[in-house]
Amino acid sequence: MIRAIVEAARDSLDAQKVSRQKKDALFELAARIGLLAELSRGGVAAIAKASATERRKPLKAGLELVAAGTSAEGLDLGLEASVPRPRSDPGAELEWVLVRSGLRGIVEDEHYSVIMRRMTAFLGPEYFDKTEAWLAERVKRRKSRAENLIVPGELPDVIRILAMDKRNLERALRASGRDISTAALAGCPQESLDLARPLYGKIGAAALEDDASHLRSRLSGDEIEQAQATFLEVVRSLEERGELRLGPEDELSADPAFVAALTKAVLGLDSSLIKGAFRGVEGALLATAMQGMMPEAHDRILGSISKKEIKRILDAIDDSDPLPRRAVQGAGSELAHRLFEAAADAKAARPVLERLAAVRDWEG
């Protein structure tokens, strides 16, 4: 995508004649516009404030148009009328094109990461890594947002089933399109977003979550419900054409009896035994097994181990996918086997060993 935009830019302006010093200055200008794009999602107050103090003519003129509520087409016409594109000066023309591109993205309510990518693409491929670093820093500073709109329906369950094979979920998201997918996810619990995030990479995942949060405050419940219905229709269409296959929903979660048994076994362990036994457990195994435990067992485990081990386990959980019942129960039984050995060495009480042995030998 970046290379295609750069090639298109070369057809319309001679960016190669612009000095590196000028391009570096324009990168900083793009970063300013990117920050404005991030701030402006809450309204045009940030745009109006910036336009009052801006000195660069193209940007000042464009910001005034955006603050006045212009459309993308109106921005093009107004900018050309007030500050004509300076085609005789490569540096000035590159600045004009970059500003126009960034402000169009703001008008069209695009995510700041998309806007930043598009603007810096005009500077050339050598600015890709610099842009990546800038975006990564913004991601690092993001604050989590509380959910304030959950639309009841079957979509969260469908996403969980699709996520059993990432290719299915990715195919459904792509077929639905970014606008429908994000609006649909805006009405889902955080779990649904967490399942979709790995498909977009670190920065793309942050953009997905930001967009979903933005749409929760912008769209009505009926609009989000309509987006979810459209997404589900796309999924059904893909399934009918044989492009994806949904498994039975009950394959996703462990047997409730198994969950209760494993949870009870973990809750019956001493903190010292958990701390010692879990230190050597592989992250992937533990993350899978924890899908077969109730939240109180998670709290028991995390409350008994060091901060370093907590981080290791939480990272493994973040990287794990929802798995079929047999995988979760297999991991739970393997974990119970290891805990049984540790408990036997520690001469734990007989009821503790019996509970662990029951999970270890589970045949349900």
pLDDT at 250: 47
Say if CB 148 and CB 236 are below 8 A apart.
no
d(C-alpha 139, C-alpha 202), whole Å:
8
CA distances (Å), origin 191, targets 73, 75, 197: 39, 39, 10
Provide the pLDDT for residue 98.
Answer: 95
Beta-carbon contacts of 114 under 8 Å, excluding residues fewer than 6 positions away, are 105, 207
**Average pLDDT per block of 10 residues along the chain, 364 residues long:** 48 69 93 89 82 90 92 92 90 94 92 92 90 85 54 76 83 91 88 85 83 83 88 89 67 73 90 80 80 84 81 74 72 88 86 90 79
Beta carbons of 224 and 161 less than 8 angstroms apart: no
Task: Please give the radius of gyration of the chain, using alpha carbons only, rounded to the nearest integer.
Answer: 26
Contact of 28 with 134, CB cutoff 8 Å: no
Show the CA angle centred on residue 330, arms to residues 343 and 258, nearest 5°. 75
d(CA 318, CA 72): 39
Residues 6+ away with beta carbon under 8 Å from 14? 90
Domains of the chain: 2-141 (no CATH), 155-249 (1.10.220), 256-360 (1.10.220.30)
Residue 122: partners with Cβ closer than 8 Å, 6 or more residues away: 5, 6, 9, 13, 15, 94, 97, 98, 101
Q: What is the pLDDT of residue 316?
A: 75
pLDDT value of position 241: 86
User: Which pLDDT score, from 0 to 100, does residue 97 have?
Assistant: 94
Q: What is the DSSP letter of 150?
A: -
Which SS3 state, helix, strand or coil, does residue 254 take? Answer: coil
Question: φ, ψ for residue 305 (rounded to 5)?
Answer: -120, 170
Contacts of residue 352, defined as CB under 8 A and 6 or more positions apart, other chains included, come to 265, 268, 269, 343
Indicate left, alpha or beta for 164 from its phi (over 0: left) and psi (-120 to 50: alpha): alpha
Instruction: Give the pLDDT confidence score for residue 234 in this predicted structure.
Output: 92
Can you tell me the distance from the alpha carbon of 16 to that of 13, in angstroms, rounded to the nearest whole number?
9
Asked whether the beta carbons of 233 and 302 are under 8 A apart, the reply is no
Question: Phi first, then psi: what are they for 111, rounded to 5°?
Answer: -70, 145
DSSP 226: H
Structure confidence at residue 7 (pLDDT) = 47
* Whole-structure pTM value: 0.54
Measure the CA–CA gap between 73 and 291, rounded to whole angstroms: 51
